[in-house]
Chain A
């Protein structure tokens, strides 16, 4: 699972190329949730899908996957994953992240989460309202 900064459209009105690519190549094979960095929604989604790894590009969310015991990695700068060396570094870091689960398992076992059990039983989009206009 990845959490990314999302632009609906660029300034030139084009759709970001990776979104366009996914739309064309695998329209039914990826799920997207767009939220205004609503932490409770991200945690609900993580809890529902229990991904093997969570990759975050946006500061401040990595720790929340960690608090739910999910292996997570803060990518910060996606350009670091480009090129031959960048791709291999990225792969190595993913491997190191999923092989050593100490940090998230230790922390998750000893803290309480700030959201209610009730919330985790709801659909993550339960509070989304259709635009009334």
Chain B
């Protein structure tokens, strides 16, 4: 019997077309059947510049499956280069083109002298989900586009974090990470979002180091960058939300970059003073919301399950129930990720399950006793179980259907306050 996944919280690898879209003036070219892009373009906010679901596409049909679709792909790339004014063309494969064995690498290689760069990433859905597809697009850019730099620039730091667009807060989070790095006196380099794009991609090889802020997504990319350009990397698994984790983040980055300890401590002190000014003023609200249990559940990707668990335990003083990771994190990372959930303050540990099936997760939640109304942070799929358990509910990860996220961020000191605003804005609606 085939297994059926109830309530998908990720897309197939071809969903990485969103990663391409987050690079200004980068265009996906799809070697896939008709409809893939339309099905995958479910999030709000594409590139803005190009249509979010209308790309150059070979529209593979039965004839292509029998006789091969390589010539069709060659035509589409050639014509896309003529018609669409882009800086970077990223050819992505779908399932059918991979199954019939088209040599797309070879077709794309024949465009190596084209006026604009064309790269290829194999993103067939049966190979993995869009978290892996995101890594494969970055890998394609590293392997097929980047050239070694003639110099390293001291203080230049490439920042890699979550999957753009799939993570509704990707933009705000990434820019807040940039802001934190800038406070330390370093120069951030990111490739996604406003005014970044190809000029920043070109600077990747000259960075002093790569900073990966993610439990596992992107680890293969920074390792590849180390191998290809001898750029060392710092891997921080926890997205810093709130004072405890953000101060830790600044210390760890400062330490790695060799920044004067006193300078780092002064930056932290100043930020924490401001953060606790607000906490002190609104502490009553957090303490006297009598209807809220101290127990919470996060149902999200490894990034948010970990980051929000750490914030709610280490900053807010809540207590973790079982936490769920829904991004299908590869087996080789799971032990390490479980370990991060054991490093909470006050010797608190959170049990964690790697489970993508919403039906199974929600059954477990219905069986859990929370000693009061729990807090459930997840995706729009969890709205129903939240109603059934009379929980306070906030959606933060895909699919998020009832909120509009433009550029807000949960990262940093301000991000922690923003998450508190969002949580307690829900809590306060119960009797108001």
Contacts and interface: CB of A to CB of B under 8 A. Distances in A.
Interface of A: 59-60, 62-63, 66-67, 72, 74-77, 88-89, 92-93, 96-97, 99-104, 106-107, 110-111
A97 B280 CA distance: 19
A103 B280 CA distance: 11
Interface residues of B, number: 28
A100 B317 contact: yes
A69 B110 CA distance: 68
B278 to A, nearest CB: 11
Where chain A touches its partner, the secondary structure class is helix
Given A66-B283, A89-B372, A99-B348, 16 more contacts: A59-B284, A62-B288, A63-B283, A93-B294, A93-B372, A100-B317, A100-B318, A100-B345, A102-B244, A102-B313, A102-B346, A103-B286, A103-B315, A106-B244, A110-B276, A111-B280
Given A66-B287, A111-B280, A104 B372 contact: no
Contacts of B272: 110
Contacts of B243: 106
B429 interface: no
Contacts of B319: 96, 99-100
Contacts of A74: 287-288, 290
A111 B286 CA distance: 17
Interface string B236-280: 000000011000000000000000000000000000110010011
A104 B276 CA distance: 11
A77 B295 CA distance: 19
Nearest to B275: A110
Contacts of B388: none
Nearest to B347: A99
A13 to B, nearest CB: 31
A12 B317 CA distance: 43
A89 B292 CA distance: 12
8 contacts: A59-B284, A93-B293, A96-B319, A100-B319, A100-B348, A104-B317, A106-B279, A106-B315
